[in-house]
Structure 1
Amino acid sequence: MPSHSSTAAALDPRDFLAIDHLLSDEERDIRDVVRSFVRDHVVPNVGEWFEEGRIPRELPRELGKLGVLGMHLDGYGCAGASATAYGLACLELEAGDSGVRSLVSVQGSLAMYAIYRWGSEEQKQEWLPRMAAGEAVGCFGLTEPDSGSDPGSMRTYARRDGDDWILRGQKMWITNGSLADVAVVWASTDEGIRGFVVPKGTKGFTTQDIHSKMSLRASVTSELILDEVRLPSSAMLPGATSLRGPLSCLNEARYGIVWGAAGAARACYEAALDYSTTRVQFGKPIASFQLQQQKLANMALEVNRATLLALHLGRMKDEGRLRPEHVSMGKLGNVNAALDVARTARQVLGANGITLEYPVIRHMNNLESVVTYEGTADVHALVIGGAVTGIQAFR
């Protein structure tokens, strides 16, 4: 019998299951470029952005130069990257801050994707190249004050007036709202749910920022007000005639969150790991105590499990096999896991865990928004429940 010998690779506490080995050279290169950008431009500044409740106006252009805005779309100045590569970018961006990943998700997976998937060629030519470069920022107007998990009950209404459309209504909790040069607004019409491209400055279209947030502070969140906004017929997205339009965009954005949550979890775990090996109590690093090692082991488990789940869904998406129900499982599992990791890391850091000197409390607060937006944890649980039982609980 021939003998076989192998040498096991050394364990990397930051990549315990050697997930890096599962990536292609191109995927690693993209990941590393985004990671370097986040390390150099986001991490040193984001605590200040969070504390001041702002995000730099120049950031979209910087992200455009990086090539991550609409990077998974083809043509119109977009890179045409794989779903997995886009996911890795989301992971690294959210390891910096959920607000930065949200800006990229809303730009590329909501506003740009809506125009790319459902828009006319003229709309694509007008907006997508500028949005890919970060020269124009987009937002996505679906959620309303009284219509969150049930978008079909939206009150924003569009009526025909000759060759024009007139929109009246209100949208709430809109990321990039007042920052945006263009809003994709969804409205009920006599012909079904339709989408409209509404440029900034259109008469009757105004925004109002939401203040006093304790989460996603390094992000612009706004109310959109549409007061008899008159638009030409060319402003309507011709391909979308039902809720399938906005829901398809949400599924794209949720996919990015699956990856992003793993990034936030990783950042919290790494902060706790570094802290525990240098913080000395009772004459030795706290990492030497059994209770702290148990916390670190559980965090490492959740981070690796979340990253593997995201990677598996990315491969499925690239192969054309990914269903919305799969994305629901990814978002539900990974965001809940990230919340657990953040809360555990906060305990490891003790009192230092509540300061912005460390990333943990910022990620922990941000994740309280991530678990709610793009479909609440409850709704995603019901989507999965309906898939496994064949019984829809909320319809």
Structure 2
Amino acid sequence: MTGFFSSDQYGFARLLTDAERAALLRLRSVLDEEVRPIVNEYWDRGEFPEQVIEPLMNLNLMAPAEVLAAGQKVRGLFGGFRNFELARVDASVVTFYNAQSGLFRTTVNLGGSPEQVADLDPKIISYEYKGVFALTEPEHGSDIAGGLETSATFEGDDDGGHWVINGAKRWIGGAAQADVLAVFARDTADSKVKCFLVPTDAPGVKLSKIERKTSLRIMQNADIELTQVRVPATARLEKINSFADVAACLRNMRSDVAWIAAGASAGAYEAALKYVSGRQQFGKPLASFQLIQQKLATMLTNVTASLAMVVSLTQAQDEGIYVDENSAMAKMFTARMLRETAALAREICGGNGIVLDYDVARFHADAEAIYSYEGTDEINALILGRAITGIGAFR
């Protein structure tokens, strides 16, 4: 359906069903009425607008009524466009939403036993059970596969045993609003990485807000300390028994982030286009100048290429085809395109491109976080390079 998104030049949204578009229009209405009017204020304050959580939750977009009523499956393609729509408005809001709908839900669904998934997934969809993904550590990000230091020790008892977890996590987005942390820790018995659902209010869990961020300022990232934290044996996700299992989760998550990057690119482009269409210089709209039009053309091409990549990737995933290097390529490329598009948007808005009033400054700053999280440009390039050559060059 050409025109569903003003920045969807090739009309990729035509691949959505009428029911999927109807659900996205409900989301758009909430974003326009509840989020857009306040997002810059909260970005400036470095606070999360708690009042937007309930309206977003009530949309029930992990199991949208329109799609289910039409007898359709909730496709990955719908989830991708949902992230795209959210990211067009704000990168922090989509990152917050995706922490539940993408990172945490993926971890439980891929890492949990059939019984765990059957119990937890409906609660995750309804937001009755809110969680976040806790992998990165203060000293380990890109090298987390080999460097992960958080430990888990099993201790048997008459109640089936429990795990004792010690360590620290960093950059955990949305932790303050979560009920539980999906904590990845190394089993002291076999040195394998495993995952545990740790309540945020458990004794020994300490959360501290990371202050003075210059990107994703709305998103509340946390430092987490885990000191002799005890969880029951049932808190371990049974199908995560190595970092290879963690990598399977990341393969899915990177496609989510690629959609976010594509959506944020669209938001930056649309904000810049609105500005130059209304701004007069030398007695004419800025949009009438050749160099401005050249930059707009580059920005729209970036958005279109990014959409083409994530749509194709997600169509393959909807068919059951999941390939590490494909997700890595998409995240790498779309984040690069976002960085360039946001920079061009800021550039054509001149001095007004560095104030929040026109939205461009927010997209410009937030692009830096998206460029780095869920796999840096370099790590994703090496994942792709390994696939190309058959040689791992990580060390």
TM exceeding 0.5? yes
Partner of 1:174: 172
Alignment of 1:1-395 (within 5 A): 14-69=7-62, 81-120=74-113, 123-124=116-117, 127-152=120-145, 153-162=147-156, 163-189=161-187, 190-191=189-190, 192-394=192-394
CA distance in 1, matches of 2:6, 2:154: 60
1:178-204 C-alpha deviation (Å, 9 max, x unpaired): 221101101001231111111122111
8 Å CA contact 1:64, 1:133 repeated in 2:
yes
Moved more, 159-168 or 374-383: 159-168
Question: For 1:187, what is the secondary structure of its paired residue?
Answer: strand
RMSD of aligned residue pairs (Cα, Å): 2.1
CA distance in 2, matches of 1:20, 1:84: 10
Question: For 1:297, what is the secondary structure of its paired residue?
Answer: helix
8 Å CA contact 1:177, 1:209 repeated in 2:
no
Q: Closer, same or farther in 2 for the Cα pair 1:259/1:164, shift >3 Å?
A: same
Decide which structure has greater helix share: 2
Structure 1 position 366, deviation (Å): 1.0
CA distance in 2, matches of 1:59, 1:104: 11
Structure 1 position 121, deviation (Å): 5.2
CA distance in 2, matches of 1:49, 1:134: 23
1:193-243 C-alpha deviation (Å, 9 max, x unpaired): 111111122111111110111111111100111101111111111111001
Q: Closer, same or farther in 2 for the Cα pair 1:223/1:169, shift >3 Å?
A: same
8 Å CA contact 1:63, 1:134 repeated in 2:
no
Question: For 1:61, what is the secondary structure of its paired residue?
Answer: helix
8 Å CA contact 1:61, 1:134 repeated in 2:
no
**TM value normalised by structure 2:** 0.90
8 Å CA contact 1:251, 1:327 repeated in 2:
yes
CA distance in 2, matches of 1:22, 1:124: 29
Structure 1 position 69, deviation (Å): 4.7
The count of residues paired between Structure 1 and Structure 2 equals 380
Structure 1 position 378, deviation (Å): 0.5
CA distance in 2, matches of 1:32, 1:48: 25
Q: Which amino acid aligns with 2:166?
A: R
CA distance in 1, matches of 2:356, 2:333: 27
CA distance in 1, matches of 2:7, 2:183: 42
8 Å CA contact 2:46, 2:218 repeated in 1:
yes
**TM value normalised by structure 1:** 0.90
8 Å CA contact 1:98, 1:260 repeated in 2:
yes
Structure 1 position 269, deviation (Å): 0.9
CA distance in 1, matches of 2:18, 2:61: 18
Question: For 1:178, what is the secondary structure of its paired residue?
Answer: helix
Structure 1 position 267, deviation (Å): 1.2
Q: Which runs of 5+ in 1 are unaligned?
A: 1-8
8 Å CA contact 1:47, 1:357 repeated in 2:
yes
